[in-house]
Amino acid sequence: MPELKAYSADRIFTGENWLSGQAVVKDNGIIVDIVSLASLSKEIAVENFPGCFLAPAFIDLQIYGAYGKLLAVYPEADSLYKLNEYCNSGGAAFCMPTVATNTYDVFYQCIDAVKDYWGKDGKGVLGLHIEGPWINPVKRGAHIESLIHSPSVRQVEELLNYGKGVIKIITLAPEVCSKEVTDLILSHDIIISAGHSNATYNEAITGFSHGISAVTHLYNAMSPLQHRQPGLVGATMDHNSVRASIIPDGHHVDYAAIRIAKAVMKERLFVITDAVTETDKGYYPHELAGDKYESLGILSGSALTMDKAVSNLVIHAGISLDEALRMCSLYPAKLIGRDHELGRISKGYRAAIVVMNERMETQGLPGF
């Protein structure tokens, strides 16, 4: 039987344009129509959000933990429930829990945690993002140098086989991984993102031509754009299809640098929070330092939520609200190949909607 319900607000951002006087109708989690309030059947219950707007719910493809439970330290379903709750509070209905450079045992335990979470009908978690340890120690940032290495084919194969269906993104440095390794990863339908890398421009472009389709936290922990050595940053900006994440918290990247990257890359630039949580256990003792986190004195993660990222992009980087919303929803959906069902408010799409007030603060995720 249909379970029709409708949602309306002062205006609706579909991912493409703004509507007013309309309602989004959903049935069993799918958007079945967008109709005028005047023509909406009286038999359909309507939840209205005055003083607010509706937009496609956000997608955070890099976040490590929440509410005192870093996934790498507590590789269990409860950590993922807390992480999902944190994401929801900032308007993100979907997330990609992330594990930074660690032991293989921890990676396996985190894979098990995701499987357990899914088995308990846990919502919102799209899979696992593994960041390192196949990175360049020169650009390690807060990653643990003693665990960083170039992988053997066997190491990669064992991890991928264990994480089949769970691992969705791997961040690596293209200059420290063989083509045989990257080809193997790609054969498992896993997105490769270049990051924590000291690649030259040519090494980066070669990696992109071999199937690397993304770059992890643009500008941070990578070879910079210089006039004689364009590096990974220059290669990313100069490419015509590779996408890159960016952290708009005001600490990881200057807002002017975000504005420049946006002007060059347009829809290829998307947002991640890179959010961590307090912990004094494991390899990463993250400590809150103002509105960012540090590990052993090194910037190690943000305290962002996705709605705060939207606000920062609009207020500090001068990016339009339309584009800021797309950078947090449609563009990450495109990277993971889910833009046919996520990132828009449109018939046939998932009813994943965020309610925001005019201060760009999340007021809820109705109907999801």
Closest listed residue to residue 156, CA positions, set 144, 143, 172: 172
Q: Where are the beta strands (DSSP E) in the chain?
A: 4-13, 18-19, 22-27, 30-36, 45-56, 58-63, 65-66, 69-70, 92-100, 128-131, 167-172, 191-194, 214-215, 243-246, 269-271, 286-289, 292-295, 298-302, 353-357, 362-364
Whole-angstrom CA distances from 160 to 17, 87, 134 are 40, 27, 14
Give the helix ranges, DSSP H, for the chain.
77-89, 104-119, 153-162, 179-187, 201-209, 231-238, 255-265, 306-315, 321-327, 330-335
Residues contacting residue 262 through CB under 8 Å, at least 6 positions apart: 269, 317, 319, 323
Cα–Cα distance measured from residue 147 to residue 38, given in angstroms and rounded to the nearest whole number: 61
Query: Looking at 33, 274, 307, 322, which residue is catalytic?
Result: 274
Q: Specify whether 60 is catalytic.
A: no
Task: Note whether 72 and 110 are within 8 A (CB).
Answer: yes
Interior/surface letters 307-318, b for 16+ CB within 10 angstroms, e for the rest: bbbbbbbbebbe
Conformation bin of residue 219: beta by default, left when phi > 0, alpha when psi is -120 to 50: left
Largest interatomic CA distance in the chain: 66
Closest listed residue to residue 265, CA positions, set 293, 245, 288: 245
Cα–Cα distance measured from residue 65 to residue 82, given in angstroms and rounded to the nearest whole number: 8
The residues annotated with a catalytic role in the active site are 274
